[in-house]
Amino acid sequence: MTDVEALADGVLAAERSAISRAITLVESSRNDHRTAARQLLEKLAPHAGGAVRVGISGVPGVGKSTFIEALGTYLVDEGHRVGVLAVDPSSVRTGGSVLGDKTRMANLSTRSEAYIRPSPSAGTLGGVARATVQAMTVLEAAGFDVVLVETVGVGQSEITVAGMVDTFLFLTLARTGDQLQGIKKGILEIADVIAVNKADGSREQEAEATAKDLAGALRLVYAGTSTWVPPVLTCSALERRGIDTVWNRIIRHREFLGKRGVDEKRAQQQLDFMWALVRDELDHRLRTDADVAAVRAELRDDVLSGRLPAVAAADRILQAYDA
Ligand code: GDP
C-alpha cells in the first residue's frame, strides 16, 4: 500500500523512474499487480485528463516515427511536455513488433520534456488497449500535456486507437488514383486530419496532387454537412516541413469540438471501451476454456464434414462454456 502511495507521489512529481515503474505496473497482467495498479490509478485519475490526445496512424514505412520525432521536438521547443505511446496489434499476433524496438525517435527520447514508451505486448489486443489507456492516465497525471499514440493499420479491430484519442491523424503517401480509392473509405470513418508525408524532393509535386485529390473527394462526401471536414495537408517529416501546420489543424479540430465536445467524445469512448473490453475478455475466455477445448476438435470435424449444422454446433459450444 505504501508502495503504491510512494509510486503515485513519484508520478505526480513527474519523476521519470516512477513513471516507468507505474506504466510497467499497469501493463502487468499478474493478479497482485492488477490490484496495485487499480489502487494506483484511483490515486492518479483525479489528476488525469488534461492532455491533448492525438492518435497517429499509417502503414509501416509511411514515416510515423520520423514524424513523431519531428512533431514531438517541435512541441517540446514550444514548451509542451510530450508523451508518446505505441499500440502495435502485430505484437499480439506474432510476439514481434512492426513498430519495433529499432532506435526510434533518437533525438526526442533524449529530451527531458518527452517520454517515449514502446507498445506493451500483452496477450490480447484488449490487454494492449487497456495498458495503453492506463499509461495515458499515468502520463497525464505526471503533467504531460500532449500524448501521441502511434499505431499501425486502421480499424481492423473493434478496439482501435481512434477510440482512445481526441483527434486522429492519418499519415499517407503520394498515390495514384486507383490506390486512393482503396484508402479513402477506411480513412473517412476515423481520420480528423490527413497528411501526405514525404512531400520532398522529386515526390513533392506528386504529394501535392494526392492531397488535392483526397481533399476533393472528402469535400464531396461531406458536402452539405456541418461536421468537421478532415483537412488534407502535405508534410516532410524528414525535412521537418509542414509539421507546424499539421499541429495547427489538430488544434483547430479540438476547437471545433469545443471543451464540451471533447468531454462528450471521451465519455462515449469510455462506454464503447467498456463493452469492447468485456467482449475481448469473453472471447479470450472462450478460446482458453477447458470445457470448450474438450469439444472443439470433435465439433470442428463434424461441422467441416457436414454431419452437424453450424447452428447446432454453436449451441454445443455455448453449453460447454456455461457448464
Ligand atoms: P514508420 O515505419 O511509419 O515509423 O516509418 P519511419 O519513420 O521509420 O520511416 C520509414 C523510412 O522513410 C525511413 O527511411 C525514413 O527516413 C523515411 N522517411 C520518413 N519521413 C520521410 C519524409 O518526410 N521524406 C522522406 N523522403 N523520407 C522519409
User: Closest residue (by CA) to atom 26 of ligand 1?
Assistant: 198
Is the C-beta atom of 152 inside 6 A of ligand 1?
A: no
Spell out the domains of the chain, with CATH numbers in brackets.
49-258 (3.40.50.300), 289-322 (no CATH)
**Which DSSP state fits 78?**
T
Is the C-beta atom of 198 inside 6 A of ligand 1?
A: yes
In whole angstroms, what is the distance from residue 197 CA to residue 240 CA? 10
Higher-pLDDT residue of 265, 122 = 265
User: Closest residue (by CA) to atom 22 of ligand 1?
Assistant: 198
Mean pLDDT of 66-73: 96
Q: How confident is the model at residue 322 (pLDDT cuts 50, 70, 90)?
A: confident
Beta strands in the chain (DSSP E): 52-57, 82-87, 114-117, 146-151, 167-172, 193-196, 232-234
Q: What is the pTM of this model?
A: 0.90
Looking at the DSSP assignment, which residues form a beta bridge with residue 234?
196
Q: Which of 57, 59, 62, 66 gets mutated to test ligand 1 (max ligand atoms within 8 A of its CB)?
A: 66
Q: How confident is the model at residue 44 (pLDDT cuts 50, 70, 90)?
A: very high
Is the C-beta atom of 73 inside 6 A of ligand 1?
A: no
Burial of 223 (C-beta count, 10 Å sphere; 0-12/13-18/19+): exposed
Q: How confident is the model at residue 4 (pLDDT cuts 50, 70, 90)?
A: very high
Q: How confident is the model at residue 93 (pLDDT cuts 50, 70, 90)?
A: low
Compute, in angstroms, the gap from residue 194 CA to the centroid of ligand 1.
Answer: 16
Compute, in angstroms, the gap from residue 82 CA to the centroid of ligand 1.
Answer: 21
Query: Each residue of 223-243: pLDDT tens digit?
Result: 888 899 999 999 999 999 999
Q: Which amino acid is at 74?
A: Y
In whole angstroms, what is the distance from residue 166 CA to residue 265 CA? 7
pLDDT of residue 95: 61
Is the C-beta atom of 62 inside 6 A of ligand 1?
A: yes
Query: Each residue of 206-222: pLDDT tens digit?
Result: 999 999 988 888 888 88
Is the C-beta atom of 145 inside 6 A of ligand 1?
A: no
Is the C-beta atom of 236 inside 6 A of ligand 1?
A: yes
Q: How confident is the model at residue 13 (pLDDT cuts 50, 70, 90)?
A: very high
Q: Which of these ranges, 85-89, 94-98, 108-112, 132-136, has the smallest mean pLDDT? A: 94-98
Ligand 1 atom at shortest distance from the alpha carbon of 239: 23
Is the C-beta atom of 23 inside 6 A of ligand 1?
A: no
Mean pLDDT of the chain: 89
